[in-house]
Amino acid sequence: MNGGGGGLLWLVIVGVLVVIPFWKLLPRFGIPSWVALAALIPFGALVLLWVMAFKDDGGRA
C-alpha cells in the first residue's frame, strides 16, 4: 500500500527550491532572510517579488 509519501517529498523539494533564492536575495533589499519563509504560503512568493520590485533603493541608479 502506498501512503503518498512521494508527494510530500516533492512538496519539500519544491519548497526548498523556492525559499533558497529568496533567502539569498532578500538581505540585498534590506529585508531579513527569515522572511523568505513567507514564500511557502500561498501567494507568498508573489508578494515577496512585488516587495522586492518596488522597494525604494535609496537613490541608487
Cα dihedral 37, 34, 44, 49, rounded to 10, equals -130
Residue 29: closest CA among 5, 6, 47, 48 = 48
Q: What is the mean pLDDT of the chain?
A: 87
Answer yes or no: is pLDDT of 3 > 80. no
* 9 or 60, greater pLDDT: 9
Give the pLDDT confidence score for residue 46 in this predicted structure.
95
Q: What span, in angstroms and rounded, lies between the C-alpha atoms of 34 and 45?
A: 13
pLDDT at 45 over 60: yes
Give the HSE-up count for residue 48: Cα atoms under 13 Å, Cβ half-sphere.
26
Of the listed ranges 11-20, 31-40, 52-61, the least confidently predicted one is 52-61
